[in-house]
Amino acid sequence: MFSHKIPLFRVFGFQVNADLSWFLVVLLVAWWLATLVFPEPGLAPGLAESTYWLMGAVGSLLLFSSLLLHELGHALMARRFDLPIRGITLFIFGGVAEMTEEPPDPRTEFLVAVAGPVVSVLLAVGFLGLHGAGLVVGLPAAVNAICLILGVLNLFLVVFNAIPAFPLDGGRVLRSALWKWKDDLRWATKITAGMGNLLGLVMIGAGVAIAIVTGDLLGGLWTGLIGLFVRNAARMSYQQLLLRRSLEGETVSRFMETSPVTVPRALPVRELVDRFIYQHHFKTFPVVDDERLVGLVTTRAVRELPREEWDRQTVGAIADPVSEDNTVAPDMDAMQALSLMSRTGTSRLLVAEDGRLLGILALKDLLKFFSLKMELEDAD
């Protein structure tokens, strides 16, 4: 989903990243607040333009801080049930806690789903409470306006997320109920993902209507884009579940390439580029020393090495060592291997046993198997 994540910081042990789109939307929200919201009569009229821009910047940052806390609610609850979270990513439509496995049962699904909205409700109550207190004690109009808007926006986040359409929180709550009722996660996901697809189409249509009828091109575009995101996320979520289910009970050895292209440890980096990367177009290659597996080399490591060093440095000098993040056993469950790929962001894993390379597990081979299995099931 996110191709250009920028690491920001860690909080409670979770890595927080920002997609490039997030920086744009922070500026857009600040502009919206500063020029269209805060100058409205009844909020904070008559202030200096520079004050409105400062309010807009503060409001935008606090809004995305609220979204981060919402996702932290999901992530902390998931951690309580030992569900792996790859990190939290802020992007154009808010934020997402990237959970790499499905909850094991309906109760866990429900508790993880409601944790985020509970945080948003507390934030809304807190900001609205501060607004009310500020009116009583006479806090500056700028402070009161920021608190009011943030309270309202957090309430809107709760209401929107309560819509029973996957992947919104309300859709996850509904999925947990349907899962509990039928004891069938696939069926529950299909129903709620279908509702997510319908919601996305409605929002896309509403966005077009808003742009045509009211002339609000920005509002219409934003509504349509959110609808497109919800629709795509619902479809992808259902496909990911089907992929996980299709791999259940299968081992890595069934899908691995048993004659992978390897590179010797002493090979100069220049030859790696000319003879292997340009010829085979892989992003990773196993590195061997005689019959012993010593690690893997990536195109990322090559890019980070100055070009003038390509003739002097060997593959072994820039290779990553064998680790739990890049190597799996042949008898590992294929679903576990897929989760590892998702968590580490890689598409190729080494398959090894007793220090010997047995093969390469590629994401494309897992997806090919999934595609063929779905075609056969559809035919039935």
> Which among 288, 184, 166, 158 is positioned nearest to 230, based on CA atoms?
166
CATH number at residue 274: 3.10.580.10
Q: Examine the domain organization and report whether 241 and 259 are in the same domain.
A: no
The CA R_g of the chain, rounded to the nearest whole Å, is 25
Q: Examine the domain organization and report whether 207 and 259 are in the same domain.
A: no
Q: Examine the domain organization and report whether 207 and 308 are in the same domain.
A: no
Q: Examine the domain organization and report whether 29 and 79 are in the same domain.
A: yes
Q: Examine the domain organization and report whether 202 and 144 are in the same domain.
A: yes
Q: Examine the domain organization and report whether 97 and 157 are in the same domain.
A: yes
Q: Domain boundary at 247, 265, 291, which?
A: 247
CA dihedral 360, 364, 370, 371 (to 10 degrees): -150
Q: Domain boundary at 188, 214, 247, which?
A: 247
Residue 264: strand pairing partners = 288
Q: Examine the domain organization and report whether 18 and 158 are in the same domain.
A: yes
Q: Examine the domain organization and report whether 228 and 347 are in the same domain.
A: no
Please check whether residue 11 is in contact with residue 84, taking contact to mean a CB–CB distance below 8 angstroms: no
Please check whether residue 18 is in contact with residue 89, taking contact to mean a CB–CB distance below 8 angstroms: yes
49: alpha, beta or left? (left if phi > 0; alpha if psi -120 to 50): alpha
> Which among 267, 268, 318, 269 is positioned nearest to 296, based on CA atoms?
318
Q: Examine the domain organization and report whether 195 and 260 are in the same domain.
A: no
pLDDT at residue 379, as a whole number: 47
Strand duo 284-289 + 85-91: pairing: unpaired
Q: Which amino acid is at 89?
A: T
107: alpha, beta or left? (left if phi > 0; alpha if psi -120 to 50): alpha
Q: Examine the domain organization and report whether 228 and 312 are in the same domain.
A: no
Report how many domains make up the chain: 2
Q: Examine the domain organization and report whether 174 and 311 are in the same domain.
A: no
Residue 320: strand pairing partners = 296
Q: What is the block-wise mean pLDDT of the chain (380 residues), using blocks of 10 residues?
A: 70 85 85 88 84 93 92 92 84 72 88 93 95 89 93 92 88 92 88 90 90 82 84 81 76 88 91 91 88 88 90 90 88 84 82 89 84 61
Q: Examine the domain organization and report whether 97 and 210 are in the same domain.
A: yes
Residue 263 phi/psi, 5° resolution?
A: -125, 140
Q: Domain boundary at 247, 273, 301, which?
A: 247
Q: How far apart are CA 358 and CA 356, in angstroms?
A: 6
pLDDT at residue 380, as a whole number: 45
Q: Residue 247 class from Cβ within 10 Å (0-12 exposed, 13-18 middle, 19+ buried)?
A: buried
Q: Which domain holds residue 80?
A: 5-247
Q: Residue 171 class from Cβ within 10 Å (0-12 exposed, 13-18 middle, 19+ buried)?
A: buried
